[in-house]
Amino acid sequence: MIRDITLGQYFPGKSPIHRLDARTKIIGTFLFIAEMFVVNNFWGFLIAGTALFTVIGISRVPLKFIFRGLTPVFLIIAFTFVINMLMFDGRVLWHWWIFTITYEGLIRAAFMVIRLVLLIIGSSILTLCTKPIALTDGLEKLLRPFSKIGVPSHEIALMMTIALRFIPTLMDETDKIIKAQQARGADFESGNIFRRAKSLIPILVPLFISSFRIAQELALAMEARCYHGGEGRTRMNEIHFNKEDIVAAVLMTIFLGIIIGSRFIA
Amino acid sequence: MSIEIKNLKYVYNPGLPGETVALDDVSLTISEGEMVGIIGHTGSGKSTLLQHMNGLLKPDSGHVFVDGECITDDKTDLVDIRRRVGLVFQYPEYQLFEETVVDDVAFGPKNLGIEGEELKKTVREAIEIVGLDYEEIKDSSPFELSGGMKRRVAIAGVIAMRPSVLILDEPTAGLDPTAHRDILSMIRRINEEKEITIILVSHNMGDIAKMCDRVIVMENGKIVLEGRPREIFTQDALLESMGLDVPPALDIMRKISKSIDGFTSSALTLDEAAEDIKEFMKRKK
């Protein structure tokens, strides 16, 4: 189940989207997220959705991957839909006990769900088409100007790199521990919620200890190679803006204009 | 108790970019009381094979029979299979989690519903068979022990379930020579005293040559060789092509045979080598 989360999982490729500078993609994604809150009618979502799926098409990431990222958040989406559906006054379509569904509620619920789905897909494109390392490098560069006012841009980027780097390691570790405890007859699937929560202890304790061990080993290895923070550190691969990034920037600006324009349709 | 594996096939990440065939038409039989070694390069499918033997993984095709009972059926009681086929993973000390050694060893039998005096007796027996002093160690925290002791506690945790087959994946990896020797003699003791069938995976060819009745060599998800240690380890060229070694004793004896006239030896273990040298010295006199 843990393996189904696409967020933070890179899908290797050589498409123009993959080749864009990470900074362009980060800014683009944040812009897209902001734009989703600017949109105030379904036309806007239609335009945004078309643009989003065009980008997915160009990136050549299979749709299966993109939608798999939605499955873990399905509950949240369903919850949003139900809450919105029940919380709006207006033309009553259905009524039972304390529950009332209105026409406006339904529209509102659909609107919120579309927004949520677009937000999730939009942000997973960033992580699907950008190597985690490129992503943190990009973020470090973007945050660099703020280091003057005390934002530790290098440290933030390093922490993210390490966190991303250890997601697969810790997942493997969890998998191994689960299997080892299963081999000792542990049962994680039956019983009520308290029993199940308690059955997690044999997984969590060893996982915690392993994380500390891994962290300590990494810290030692870094110190042994003279790591002393970001000051004066050079990098092997400098990142540059290319022609493609300029094209992307122009397209993104046009898109922003269209989205703002869409507010005035109908 | 016997394990029979028929035409096992298992694929990791089917249909995804990382698709790999981990097991490809593997068939083998392990009979009661045997001590079988499995060797192979990293990624040859050894660990995947082990996890099929107690139902942790379900094959894509093929069957596994434990004592004639097919465990790849949907209706098999997996907990019971896991009791009978004990699996000790690599670095088992990383799965310790309880506050005291006794509690940790009792985790397995407790899951099987063993209680009271019976539980105490089982735990005590398991701790003693791995060569630890029960009274001395029972209330200490497993995290305060040395590496070799931790590993023995973890193995005791599996033995406490009273399996009839014990599978050990690299039980000596990363241990110092003394702890290494202790673990090996412990495995032998378990095999002989408790009559538990042992399946041993190791990269240490010396251990395999010394301990096992039969050796299985795996490469790319297939069984490529199977036989007595002597039959396997005399095929050095083939082993080398698979990135495997011969036991150090054999290697040294070969070198000595080359440089000393009249001396021949195909000893696999140090004891055999010493015997051959003694024999040769006697003849020379």
The rounded distance, in Å, linking the Cα atoms of B118 and B124 is: 10
* In a shared domain, residues A124 and A29: yes
Whether A230 and A245 map to the same domain: the answer is no
Quick check: pTM over 0.80?
A: no
Best mutation target among B85, B97, B141 (most A Cβ atoms within 10 Å) is: B97
- Average pLDDT in chain B: 90
Does A201 share its domain with A246? no
Which is nearest to B173 in space by CA: B159, B191, B154, B190?
A: B154
Q: Which residue of A has its CA nearest to B88?
A: A180
Give a yes or no: residue A35 inside a domain: yes
> For residues A254 and A238, what is the distance between their CA atoms, to the nearest angstrom?
29
What is the nearest CA distance from B249 to chain A, expressed in angstroms? 34
Closest B-chain CA to A183 = B82
A2, A120: one domain:
yes
The answer to whether residue A144 sits within a structural domain is no
Q: Is residue A135 part of a domain?
A: no
CA angle A174, A180, A186 (to 5 degrees): 100
Query: In this structure, are A114 and A214 located in the same domain?
Result: no
Q: In the predicted model, is pLDDT for residue A6 greater than 50?
A: no
Interface check for B12 against chain A (CB to CB < 8 A): the answer is no
Same domain, A170 and A241: no
What's the pLDDT tens digit per position in B15-52? 776 788 889 999 999 999 999 999 999 889 999 999 99
Task: Evaluate whether B95 touches B89 at the Cβ level (below 8 Å).
Answer: yes
B-contacting residues in A 61-100 (Cβ below 8 Å):
none
pLDDT above 90 as % of chain A: 30
- Indicate yes or no: CB of A179 within 8 angstroms of CB of B17: no
State the residue range of the domain holding A240.
1-130+236-266
User: Mind listing the pLDDT tens digit for each residue in A200-223?
Assistant: 889 999 999 999 999 999 999 999
**Alpha-carbon distance B84 to B68, whole Å?**
13
Please give the tally of structural domains in chain A. 2
Domain identity same for A36 and A114: yes
**Mind telling me how many Å the CA of A180 is from chain B's nearest CA?**
7
Q: Which residues of B fall within a CB distance of 8 Å from A201?
A: 97
| pLDDT tens per residue across all 285 residues of chain B | 789 999 999 998 877 767 888 899 999 999 999 999 999 998 899 999 999 998 888 899 999 998 888 888 777 788 888 889 999 999 998 889 999 999 999 999 998 888 899 999 999 999 999 989 999 998 999 999 988 899 999 999 999 999 999 999 999 998 999 989 999 999 999 999 888 999 999 999 999 999 999 999 999 999 999 999 999 998 888 898 888 888 988 888 888 888 888 888 888 888 888 998 998 888 887
A51 plus A157 within the same structural domain: no
Quote the radius of gyration of chain A (alpha carbons, Å).
Answer: 23
Classify residue A256: in a domain, yes or no: yes
Answer yes or no: do A2 and A114 share one domain: yes
Report CB contact under 8 Å: B111, A185.
yes
State which amino acid sits at residue B140. Answer: S
What are the strands, taking DSSP E only, across chain B?
3-12, 20-30, 35-40, 61-66, 69-70, 85-88, 165-169, 197-201, 214-219, 222-227
Residue A168's alpha-carbon distances to A125, A164, A216, B86, in angstroms, are: 19, 8, 18, 27
Q: What is the pLDDT of residues B203-248, one digit of tens each?
A: 999 999 999 999 999 999 999 999 999 999 988 888 988 888 889 8
Residue A5 has pLDDT above 50, yes or no: no
State which residue of chain A sits closest to B110, comparing Cα positions. Answer: A185
Q: How far apart are CA B247 and CA B204, in angstroms?
A: 8
The shortest C-alpha distance from A222 to chain B (Å) reads: 22
Q: Is residue B84 a contact partner of residue B134, using CB atoms and an 8 Å limit?
A: no
A111 and A186 in one domain?
no
Please report the DSSP string for A74-139 in residue order: HHHHHHHHHHHHHS--SSEEEEETTEEEEHHHHHHHHHHHHHHHHHHHHHHHHHHHS-HHHHHHHH
Please report, to the nearest 10 degrees, the dihedral formed by the alpha carbons of residues B7, B13, B15, B18 taken in order: -120
For residue A76, is it within any domain?
yes
Do A184 and B158 count as a contact with CB atoms less than 8 A apart? yes
Take residue A204 and report the two structure tokens written for it.
């969590």
Structure confidence at residue A225 (pLDDT): 92
Inter-chain contact A12–B95, Cβ cutoff 8 Å?
no
A162: in domain: yes
A107 and A161 in a single domain? The answer is no
Which domains occur in chain B, in start order?
1-76+202-244 (3.40.50.300), 247-285 (no CATH)
Strand B61-66 versus strand B20-30 pairing type: unpaired
Q: Indicate whether A43 belongs to any domain.
A: yes
Residue A266 pLDDT level (bands cut at 50, 70, 90): low
A65 occurs within a structural domain: yes
Considering the domain architecture, whether residues A205 and A83 belong to the same structural domain is answered as no
